Amino acid sequence: MHFVLALCVFAISAGFASGQSCTLPNNDKGTCKILTECDAATKIFTKKNRTSEDENFLRKTYCGHAGQTPMVCCPESEKFSCTTPDNKTGECVNIQKCTYLAEIQDDPLNEGETVFLKNSVCAGPEENSVCCGSEGSSVDVDSLGKNVPVTCEQSAFPPDPDSDCCGLDSSVSDKIIGGTATGINQYPWLVIIEYAKLETSRLLCGGFLISNKYVLTAGHCVKGPILEAGTPKYVHLGEYNTTNEGPDCVSSGAGQPDCNEGIIRATIDEIIPHPDYLKPNNFYEQHDIALIRLKVWAPRTEFIRPICLPKIDHTLSLPPNYKFQVAGWGRYYQDFVNKIFKASEVKLHVDVPYVNHGDCQRKLRTIPNLYKLSNGIKVSVNVTLWNGQLCAGGVAGKDSCKGDSGGPLMYENERKYTAVGMVSYGLGECGIGGYPGVYTNIYPYLPWIKATIRE
């Protein structure tokens, strides 16, 4: 009943026909081709030190499958266009071909230049690719110093969704406009809950930061059968690799490692499940939502910051085939064909398509014998959705599952993220094609959230 992330570079789903025109993530024109017939994509896919930018680019260029071979949107030009951190048009090349960035790499003068270099990393066919501006470009150190960080008031209440104090990850720097997200900095609102039992501790559920004091998670993460495994004691802030409490580092693609600051193990002050969670006749996880109040104030850093809460019910105005993002540390498919799972040590994410209530209800009623209780026993149920829930997913091999419970279902608009839903439950095995996952819809619970939070 808890979710896992099933993630691969390319997903198995419908797409474009071979030879059809398409557009790459950088807005270059391309043609849908088999991966092995696209020299540029093959070079990125076989890079020795493939970065998260490379993997995101490959994922977004996916345009279908020819048998078991993925197809990609293959660029028409050998040159990869890009946008520099200061919003200038550039070309994605090896850093040694870009004089002014190579000089920064060898001897950065200040923090502004270092951030500029990190935000210049781009997805391209060459190793250590960066977005290089036109000939004669340079980094204006003086102008970098004038871009002051956004000042956000420390508060227990969620920030205004219209401000820059929520929903912005490392793809939008406080100091430099533009840039691309790095895996280690993505989704800085994600947290993991640590459970204690006797002398042992376990990481069992996720959640997300909504202010400097509060985390949202699922009701079943703090109440019910899960408490047999342990009591929630800590929330990990700024987490990336769960096997390491110190700073985590990944390749930035610019010749220098990109490192975080290590985790903060924030002690839980209070756990507040929704008052109607686990009430009689509530078999389908209605009101599956809870607040966690921290004893410490969560700092605002590059790796720790809140996500925005919705101003409207986004499910009422989503475009056709809209895809949400789900992220977490749950299990993923090591071998999708043979259903072999592996627990993830690092933060993963996956795109899942929105499924409206009517379609979701019909799909879930077709598998009445696959619902699993926490003890593994299968029972026959007739699932009935209600307005406090929404559905997403149903693509084979792309899902959330055990370990991702409580994590956000994210709506992204112009690089700002809103927590539209929360991972709640699913039916049967994770990642089964045609069967969406069920999420708590955050919008109907805004009055309860605001009334429960205290400064």
Query: H/E/C letters for each residue in the chain?
Result: CCECCCCCCCCCCCCCCCCCEEECCCCCEEEEEEHHHCHHHHHHHCCCCCCHHHHHHHHHHEEEEECCEEEEEEECCCCCEEECCCCCEEEEEEHHHCHHHHHHHHCCCCHHHHHHHHHCECCCCCCCEEEECCCCCCCCHHHHHHCCCCCCCCCCCCCCCCCCCCCCCCCCCCCCCCCCCCCCCCCCCEEEEEEEECCEEEEEEEEEECCCCEEEECHHHCCCHHHHCCEEEEEEECCCECCCCCCCEEECCCCCEEECCCCEEEEEEEEEECCCCCCCCCCCCCCCCEEEEECCCCCCCCCCCCCECCCCCHHHCCCCCCEEEEEECCEEEEECCCCEEEECCECEEEEEEEECHHHHHHHHCCCCCCEECCCCCEECCCCCCCCCEEEEECECCECCECCCCCCEEEEEECCEEEEEEEEEECCCCCCCCCCEEEEEECHHHHHHHHHHCCC
- The single residue listed with the structure tokens 């996500």 is 307
Which two tokens mark 55? Answer: 């993997």
Alpha-carbon distance 328 to 430, whole Å?
15
pLDDT at 398: 43
How many Cα neighbours within 13 Å face the side chain of 432?
Answer: 15
220 is catalytic: yes
Catalytic-role residue among 129, 173, 400, 405: 405
Architecture of the CATH domain 17-135: 2-Layer Sandwich (3.30)
pLDDT at 136: 58
Alpha-carbon distance 273 to 286, whole Å?
12
Catalytic-role residue among 170, 174, 220, 274: 220
2 is catalytic: no
pLDDT at 380: 53
pLDDT at 176: 28
Catalytic-role residue among 169, 248, 288, 404: 288
436-441 and 389-393: which strand pairing?
antiparallel
pLDDT at 304: 93
Residue 412: CB atoms within 10 A of its CB come to 16
Pick the CATH number of 190-245+261-452 from 2.40.128.720, 3.90.550.10, 2.40.10.10, 1.10.238.10: 2.40.10.10
pLDDT at 252: 60
Alpha-carbon distance 407 to 440, whole Å?
10
Alpha-carbon distance 203 to 223, whole Å?
15
Q: How far is C-alpha 355 from the chain's CA centre?
A: 19
Q: Can you give the pLDDT of all 455 residues of the chain as single tens digits?
A: 333 333 334 443 434 456 788 888 788 888 998 888 898 888 888 887 777 777 778 877 888 777 777 888 998 887 888 888 877 888 999 888 888 888 877 776 666 777 778 778 888 888 888 888 876 566 654 444 444 445 788 999 999 999 989 998 764 433 222 223 346 788 999 999 999 998 888 888 899 999 999 999 999 899 988 899 899 999 999 988 888 877 877 766 555 677 878 889 999 999 999 999 976 555 566 899 999 999 999 999 889 999 999 999 998 888 777 889 888 886 543 333 343 334 567 788 788 889 988 888 887 775 544 444 444 555 555 667 888 999 988 654 444 444 468 899 999 887 799 999 999 876 544 445 557 888 999 999 999 999 999 98
Phi-psi region of 187 (alpha: psi -120 to 50; beta: other; left: phi over 0): left
pLDDT at 247: 84
404 is catalytic: no
Residue spans per domain, the chain: 17-135, 190-245+261-452
